[in-house]
Amino acid sequence: MVPMTVGAPPDTTRDAVDASTARTRPDPIRALVAPSTWLGATHLLLDALLGTAYTVVLGTGLVMSVALLPLALAGVPVWIVTAWVSRMMAGIERTRYRLLLDVRIDPPPMPPVDRNPLRYGGALWRDDGVRRRALHQAVAMPLGLLTAGLVWLTVSGGLALLGSVTIAVLFPPASSGGLVDRHVLGLPLSDTPTAQMLLGAAGLLLVLVAPMLVRGLVAVDVAVARTLLGPPPRVLARRVHELERSRARVVDAGETERRRIERDLHDGTQQQLVALGMTLGRAKARYADDPGSIGELLDDAHQQAKDAVTDLRLLIRGLHPPVLADRGLDAALSAIAVRCPVPVELSVEIERRPPATVEAIGYFVVAEALTNVARHSGASAAVVRVRREDDGPVWITVTDNGTGGADPGRGTGLRGLRDRVSAVDGQLSVDSPVGGPTVLTVELPCDVR
């Protein structure tokens, strides 16, 4: 028997680790020529220019707002204009991050516009998104000068050192005719081979370090922008927490609504249809003996059929009004306003029709809010404003001049509205001091699927 020699199997695990290490090992040459490096460097160099402009514009607006405030509150409209200019500048920054760095930052929403400039100016001042945008633009100049300066010194310094060595090698002192300055950075070191090697090594080190520096500064810059230009983390955490709490309430509310519909059908429409069937049965039985005496029974059957149809229409309208699907929020809310016992001033400004889910939630929010106004507020007038610009969220504001004191923590009406709004990650706030007025504000995002 010939002995067989069995070789050890190849170490595939070690090969895989080596291949993975080779793939993840940084390649300075590749990083130097990568488009992301130069796009990041361009972004950081623009930080100095745009950051200076942002800081100057914001500072001028704030100084004028404070300076003009004692003059019959003339600083309030200046502050409102400054806040909207700040929003525009933040939009420019988000576009720049998206185009140069492929980083998308979602904007926090602006507070809904109020006709009262003092109230609207106060809402802008208290809004966390407005303050964080202003903070970003206030630090944009020093941060931009720092990051742009570091990138410029590293790249230009490395290229200058390499260029000086190249000039020293291509044009030695004997052939330069004294036309080449033999001093680099003020030091006469370029004439000796040792000095040339040191300068070349320093320049090459700076050039190879530049991509890592750019990546690090871009990461810091993006982190600052996400923190100050995007939705605050605590808002996201609060929304997640609210969604977790409202999910169970939404499920319970859905089950309660299902049972209500079942009860309404059982106790109302079903009983009417049973009575209709019995009336027609009596008419059929009497028709064989005395055909002329069934007129009264047919009249009763006709009325019962009309009553059943009316109840079904009311039930369907409570689920989803047909006018909402056919003609949109403007027509559906107009019908609610006409039926409300309290006089309602309605304004609907929607440039683009929102998704059907958002329309339905907005309809029921206004319907429930006006029901609360009529039943509990003691108000003599109410104002409903619905607004949507382009593809932005739908803002709904319901204001009444009642006694105030509405609290979402008491009762189920406002809590049910908050649950409906939370279903599309919206926000509901109630400002209702004792004595009034009560202002209910709802934001409904339109990016639902």
**End-to-end alpha carbon distance in the chain:** 73
Asked if 164 and 199 touch (Cβ cutoff 8 Å), the reply is: yes
What is the C-alpha separation between 121 and 113, in angstroms, rounded?
10
Residue 85 has what pLDDT?
Answer: 92
Handedness of CA 187, 192, 195, 197 (dihedral sign): positive
Quickly count: other Cβ atoms within 10 Å of residue 94's Cβ: 18
Q: Which single residue is written with the structure tokens 């002995």?
A: 3
Least Cα distance to 325 among 363, 367, 351, 371 occurs for 363
Burial class (CB in 10 A: 0-12, 13-18, 19+), 148: buried
110-144 tens-digit pLDDT: 777 777 888 888 888 888 888 889 999 999 999 98
What is the C-alpha separation between 40 and 28, in angstroms, rounded?
16
Q: In whole angstroms, how far apart are CA 160 and each of 32, 157, 341, 347?
A: 16, 5, 80, 65
Quickly count: other Cβ atoms within 10 Å of residue 93's Cβ: 21
The domain 323-444 belongs to what CATH superfamily?
Histidine kinase-like ATPase, C-terminal domain (3.30.565.10)
Residue 5 has what pLDDT?
Answer: 43
Residue 410 has what pLDDT?
Answer: 60
Structure tokens at 414: 């406002």
Burial class (CB in 10 A: 0-12, 13-18, 19+), 126: exposed
71-88 tens-digit pLDDT: 877 888 899 899 999 999
Please check the confidence at residue 181 and state whether its pLDDT lies above 60: no
Residue 53 has what pLDDT?
Answer: 92
Beta bridge partners of 398: 384, 440
Residue 388 has what pLDDT?
Answer: 87
Secondary structure of residue 204 in the 3-state scheme: helix
CB crowding 231-270: b at 16 or more within 10 Å, else e: beeeeeeeeeebeeebeeeeeebeeeeeeeeeebeeebbe
Structure tokens at 150: 């570091």
Q: What is the largest CA-CA distance in the chain?
A: 138
Residue 17 has what pLDDT?
Answer: 41
- Average pLDDT on 391-415 reads 77
Residue 3 has what pLDDT?
Answer: 44
Secondary structure of residue 387 in the 3-state scheme: strand
Mean pLDDT of the chain, nearest integer: 77
Asked if 61 and 85 touch (Cβ cutoff 8 Å), the reply is: yes
Domain boundaries defined on the chain? 25-231, 235-319, 323-444
pLDDT tier at 234, thresholds 50, 70, 90: low
What is the C-alpha separation between 365 and 291, in angstroms, rounded?
54
Q: What percent of the chain has pLDDT over 70?
A: 73
CB crowding 129-145: b at 16 or more within 10 Å, else e: bbebbbebbbebbebbe
Residue 187 has what pLDDT?
Answer: 46
This prediction has a pTM of 0.51
Q: Cα 274 to the chain's mean position, in Å?
A: 52
Count, residues in the chain? 449
